Amino acid sequence: MNICVFCGSSIGKDPIFAKVANQLGSLIGSSKSTLVYGGGNVGLMGIIADATLAAGGKVTGVIPDFLLRREVAHCGLTQLEVVESMHERKKRMADLSDVFIAMPGGWGTLDELAEILTWKQLGLINQPIGILNTDHFFDTLLNQMLVMVEKGFLSQESFESIKIVVHPNELLTQLGVISVQPN
């Protein structure tokens, strides 16, 4: 399974973000899945890629040429695809992926999440989408989405189609990447 993860090119101020990126990458790798992500070697992006590889998974990075020239590309990936633009990056990542996950990040993460949610709402994609709500990072955005539902700009069905979870193991289980472990 190809799992696209949108996440920050920095690690944030709280060490919990790096810890969870490492956990998620380890779970992706141990499930023998392929991580699809933005191709960077910095921040949460670099952590999740390294953890996936260390756990035996494959990693496909998709990076625009201008970022490659800034020397932020991860050179140890299974595959690194270079594209012309940020839009082409998002499209290629979507084409490669069976599942989408958003982790904490900045403008780029928000842009990627918004675009993929829009594509799902419009029926351009049908893959599951999950939000890893580490340390309540997405609470205010989720509250805004509920306001959009309340005011009639977003359907309840569209909102409820998003899997919103705090723990990586639970999110990957809900998205069908890993099986529920028997007791």
Domain ranges within the chain, ordered by starting residue: 2-174
Instruction: Name residues of the chain where pLDDT drops below 70.
Output: 180-183
Give the pLDDT score at 182.
45
pLDDT tens track for 84-102: 999 999 999 999 999 999 9
What is the CATH architecture of 2-174? 3-Layer(aba) Sandwich (3.40)
The 3-state secondary structure of 115-160, one letter per residue: HHHHHHHCCCCCCCEEEECHHHCCHHHHHHHHHHHHCCCCCHHHHH
- On whether the CB atoms of residues 24 and 55 are closer than 8 A, the answer is no
- On whether the CB atoms of residues 28 and 57 are closer than 8 A, the answer is yes
Give the pLDDT score at 95.
96
